[in-house]
Structure 1
C-alpha cells in the first residue's frame, strides 16, 4: 500500500456480534451508529477480542504448573464463549471468497451495506502482500487469480482506478501477463461480470449432469466440494449469463489486459494460465476431453439442432433442479462460500430479483461475513462452530477443568449447544441430490447448513458423551440419539478401513486426471485421511463404553480395519501426512491417538517409536515445534522459522502465555486441497489448554 494512503474505516466500537438470531449457531455482525441504540447494547469482551480492541481482562496469577497455565488459558477463553454456548471465531484465510460474493451481488444489482463495503475494502488492502498483490490465501505469494480478482473486488466496492495502490496493483497485473492468464474459476467469474468472454473458458456443459449414475466419472462420483461448485458454474456457462454492461465493466476491460479487449482471441485463452497459479497442471486426458467438448459446444447454439433435440434445455433444467435441492437442503447457504455466490447468480438469472429463492440467498449472506481487526472477511463456511466446541469440551473434561465449580456454567452452555446442534434427520432431498445420510451426526458448523463430516460427527459425539459424564450436567442426548450418530459413522467407513470427509469415496482416484481447477490438488474424489479415520474410530470406542451391546461386533471390526488402514499410510520417516491441518505434526498427533486406542505404545510398537522419533527430530532449539503450510503443498516437512504455540510442547506454551491467560495469534493452522491455508484461531486456546492439562497429569505436577 502506498505510504500516504489510509483506507476509510468504520468506528470499531460500533460493531456487535449476534448469534443464533435466525438459526442455531448463526453468526451475524451488526454495525450500530453512535447514539442510544449503541449505548443500550455495550460491546462484550467477545466483540472486542475479535475486533482487536482492548478486552480489559484481568491479569491472572503467574502459573507455576502446566495445569495452572491451562486454567488461566481457559479463564480467558471463556470470555469468548457466546451466549448460546459455543465459541465464536473467524474462519478466514482464502482470498478467492470475497470476489465471488462481490461479483455476484454486483451482477444482480445488489450491494453490501456502506459500512460493510468500507470494511471489506480495508480487509483486502490489509491482506495485500508486500510484493504488491494477493495470493490464493493470506500466507501465499501473489498470483494472477488472487491479484486480478481482488483488484476487481476493490473496483466494484467503490475504489477508483488510481486511488491509493490501485495503479501499482494494475501494473503488477500487467507484469503477470494480464487477466487472460487467470485460472478457470477466475475466468468463470470474470465472464459472469462481463469483463471476460465465455469463449475463453474450457467447456463445462450441463449435459455432464445427464450422464447415468453408473458412469465411473459421472458428477455424482466427484468430491462434494467439486460438484457443488462445478454444477452452478456449468449452469452459468451453459446459459452464457452475463451481468449488465456498465461504464465500470468497460473500464475493467481496459484495465485488466495487456492488449485491447476487442483484439483478444478468446478461444486461445482457455488453457492460458500463469505458472504463478498452477499447482495441478491439466492432464493430457483432460485437455483431450476439453477439445471434444469444444467441438460439441457448437451444437446447442445451432438453431436447427437445438430446436429438434433440445438437449441443452433439458440439461439446464436438470442442473437447476439440483441447484434448488442444494439450496433447500442447506437453508440457502450451500456447502460453502464459492457455491453460495454462484447460487445467488443462478437463482437470480432463472427466477429474477423478486423470487423467494433469491431473497433467501441475500438474507443468508450475513452468515458468511466476519468482522475482524483488519476489516470484513468472508469465511470458509458459515463458521467452524461445532469443530471448535467439540475439541474445547473434550479438553476441559480430560484436563479436569470441567470439574471446577467456576467452569460449570461454561460446560452447561456447551452441552446445551451440542444438544441443539445434532442433526435429527436426513436432508429433505437426501437421495435426489446424492447426499450421504446425516441423521444423528453433528455438522462442521451449524445444523441448518447441515453438512456432516466424519470427524465432526465423531468429535461431536465424544464431546457429548464426556460432558454428560459430569455429575452436574443433564443428559439430554439419549442413547437412541447416540445410536443414530453411530449408524452414520459406521456408514462412512470405506472398504479399506479409512474414512474420507463428507461421504464414501465414490470413484477412482484416477479421476484426478480430470482436475480442471489448476490451483488445487486431490479434489476430484473424497480421499481418505488419518485425521478423519482417527476421529471416527475413537468415537466408536467412546460409544462402546456407554452402550457396549449396540452393533458391538460391527464396531469392533470397523475399529480393527481403521487401525490397519492407519498402519498402511504411515510414511517411511514415521509421520503421517495431514490434509486438514498443518501438517505432519497435525496428522501424526491424530494417528498416534489411533495407535494408542489399539494398545500400541512406545515400548511395544515400532510404529509408535518411529512416529515419536519423527516428532522429536523436529523439535527446535527453544524446545518447541513449528511447521508451515508448505509442508502440505510440497508433501515434505517445512520448518517454520520460529516455534508455534499450536504445534509445540507444554513448556514453551507456558512461556508464551500472556498474563491475562491468552495466547497470541501466530501463523495459519489449517489447510485444504493441499494448496490453500485457512485459519483456526481458536486452536491456540483449545490445543494449548489441552496439552498443558494433559502434560500436568502425565508429569504429576
Structure 2
C-alpha cells in the first residue's frame, strides 16, 4: 500500500529547502501496509478501472433532492457541512490540499481502443502520443510478438497513419534523443514536471557521477509516483515564499510590499497581465513557432482571467495601503478594466485560454469588473455577461461546456451538467448581482450541484478542466470541491444578506 508522507527531506544532504520542506509531499510504498480487506478493495477498484476506462458515466451517484424539493438555507448548509467535513479530512498537516495531475497523455499514457495514444484523455489517437509511448514501451523491454496484443495494435496504428515521419516536432525531439537542447533553453520546466526529467537526463549524459545528477534523484519523488491505477504526476512545483501579512508586523508589511512590487514588475505596459512573463514582442513573430503541437507560444499574451486577478489583488492592497505607488496602481486598474471590457465577445462572454473555458473566463471577468466598481446597473458588460450565462444554463439548472470550445474559441454546449462549470456559472451570476435581481436561476443551479454531490460529501470527478494554449487539456483535481464550496457558500451568504 502507498502512504503519503509530508514535509520530509531534512535528513537527506542532497535535498535543499528554503522553508524547511514545508509543503513537500512524497509517496512511499509499504509492502506490509493495509489489511487483507483493504488490499481486496484496491484490487477490485483496479480491475474496475481497467474494465470501465473507456466508459463515460453520465449519471450521478446520488440524487439528494427530489424535483419538488426546495433549496432552503438549511439545505444549503447541510450540503456545505457534508463537503467541508470530507474535504477538511483530506487536508495535509502542512495546511494545503494535495492534488494530482492528469490528462496529458504524452506524460502519463493511456492506450485508446484503436491501438493508438492520444495527447490527452478525451482526444482521439495522435501520432505524437502514439510514437512517444510506443517507443517508451519498447525501451522498457516490451517485446513485439503474438502475445503482446497492445504493442501490436500500437505499431499497426502508427504505420497505418503515416509512421513517425509525420509526427510533430516534440515527438521527433524525443525520438531522436537530442535532449541537450532542453538543457540550454529550459522551455517547459515551470509548467510540466517532465523538463525536470529531461534536465536530469542531460546531467546524467554530461556526468553520471556528478553532484548535479545526484541532486536530481531524490527530487523524482516530488512529482512522480505509482498509484493503484497507474503512474501519477504533479505539475507546478513552485511555492510562494511570502506568508500571510499580520497587521502591525513590520517584517510582514515589508514582505507585502515586496510581493506587490514583484507583481507590478510583471504587468504589461498596457496594464494587463499575461500568464508567466510580461509581453515582450508582437504577435507577428508567431510565424517562427517551431512546434506543431502548440499555438501562440512565442508571445505570452495578456489574458482576461490573469488581468482580473491582478485588478482584484491591487484593489485589496489599496484597501490596506492606499498611498503606496498610488498613481501607478490606479492607472493599472483603470487600463485593466478597459482591457477586460474590450475583450468581451458580442454574445457577452469572455474567452479564457487557461481553463475550459468561456464559463470560467466570464466568471473571472465579472469578478474583476465588480471589484473595480462596475455593477449590473452601471455596466453594459456585466449585463451582457449575465445574459450570456443565463442563456447557457441547462434545463436541469447546471452548466456544461465541451473542451473543444477552447480549440475553436466558440462556446460548445456539452449537453450535460458539470459540477465545476455549474459553480463557475453560479459565481458569475452571484457577483453580478443576480441574487438581488432574481435568485431563481441560482436556486436551480444550487439544486443541480446538491444533486450531483456524492454520498461522501464530495463532488464527482468529471471531464477535464484545464487547457494549455488551447492545445492540451488536463485536470485540476481540487476544482471539483473548491468551486462548488465557493458557489454554495457565497449563495448562502448572499441569501442571508438579502433577508437581513
Does the alignment reach a TM-score above 0.5?
Answer: yes
Structure-2 residue corresponding to 1:279: none
Give secondary structure in 2 for the equivalent of 1:345: helix
Distance 2:159 2:463 in 1: 31
**Structure 2 residue runs without a partner (length 5+):** 10-20, 49-61, 66-72, 423-444
Report deviation, 1:372.
4.3
- Shift of the 651–477 alpha-carbon distance from structure 1 to 2, 3 Å rule, reads farther
- Shift of the 51–486 alpha-carbon distance from structure 1 to 2, 3 Å rule, reads farther
Task: Say whether residues 1:67 and 2:62 are aligned partners.
Answer: no
Give secondary structure in 2 for the equivalent of 1:699: helix
Structure-1 residue corresponding to 2:134: 151
Report deviation, 1:642.
0.9
- Shift of the 550–371 alpha-carbon distance from structure 1 to 2, 3 Å rule, reads farther
Structure-1 residue corresponding to 2:434: none
Task: Say whether residues 1:340 and 2:193 are aligned partners.
Answer: no
Instruction: Please tell me whether the aligned partners of residues 51 and 372 of structure 1 are also in contact (alpha carbons under 8 angstroms).
Output: no
Task: Say whether residues 1:656 and 2:430 are aligned partners.
Answer: no
Instruction: Please tell me whether the aligned partners of residues 71 and 689 of structure 1 are also in contact (alpha carbons under 8 angstroms).
Output: no
Give secondary structure in 1 for the equivalent of 2:349: coil
Instruction: Please tell me whether the aligned partners of residues 446 and 488 of structure 2 are also in contact (alpha carbons under 8 angstroms).
Output: yes
Report deviation, 1:628.
1.8
Distance 2:250 2:161 in 1: 58
- Shift of the 525–553 alpha-carbon distance from structure 1 to 2, 3 Å rule, reads same
Task: Say whether residues 1:83 and 2:82 are aligned partners.
Answer: no
Give secondary structure in 2 for the equivalent of 1:30: strand
Report deviation, 1:544.
1.6
- Shift of the 673–233 alpha-carbon distance from structure 1 to 2, 3 Å rule, reads farther
Structure-1 residue corresponding to 2:30: 32
**Structure 1 residue runs without a partner (length 5+):** 1-13, 54-58, 99-123, 193-197, 199-231, 237-318, 384-420, 424-439, 441-460
Report deviation, 1:76.
0.8
Report deviation, 1:381.
3.3
Report deviation, 1:538.
0.5
Instruction: Please tell me whether the aligned partners of residues 512 and 524 of structure 1 are also in contact (alpha carbons under 8 angstroms).
Output: yes
**Matched length:** 436
Report deviation, 1:335.
5.4
Give secondary structure in 1 for the equivalent of 2:278: coil
Instruction: Please tell me whether the aligned partners of residues 52 and 373 of structure 1 are also in contact (alpha carbons under 8 angstroms).
Output: no
Structure-2 residue corresponding to 1:96: 106
Report deviation, 1:546.
2.1
- Shift of the 143–596 alpha-carbon distance from structure 1 to 2, 3 Å rule, reads same
Distance 2:302 2:359 in 1: 18
- Shift of the 128–477 alpha-carbon distance from structure 1 to 2, 3 Å rule, reads farther
Task: Say whether residues 1:491 and 2:262 are aligned partners.
Answer: no
Report deviation, 1:362.
2.2
Distance 1:614 1:533 in 2: 21
Structure-1 residue corresponding to 2:240: 422
Structure-2 residue corresponding to 1:521: 295
Larger mean Cα displacement after TM superposition, 529-538 or 333-342 = 333-342
Task: Say whether residues 1:20 and 2:7 are aligned partners.
Answer: yes
Counting only pairs closer than 5 Å after superposition, residues 284-295 of structure 1 correspond to structure 2 as none
Instruction: Please tell me whether the aligned partners of residues 94 and 380 of structure 1 are also in contact (alpha carbons under 8 angstroms).
Output: no
Instruction: Please tell me whether the aligned partners of residues 272 and 332 of structure 2 are also in contact (alpha carbons under 8 angstroms).
Output: no
Structure-2 residue corresponding to 1:139: 122
Structure-1 residue corresponding to 2:427: none
Instruction: Please tell me whether the aligned partners of residues 52 and 372 of structure 1 are also in contact (alpha carbons under 8 angstroms).
Output: no
Structure-1 residue corresponding to 2:306: 532
RMSD over equivalenced CA pairs, Å: 3.1
Give secondary structure in 2 for the equivalent of 1:692: helix
Instruction: Please tell me whether the aligned partners of residues 368 and 381 of structure 1 are also in contact (alpha carbons under 8 angstroms).
Output: no
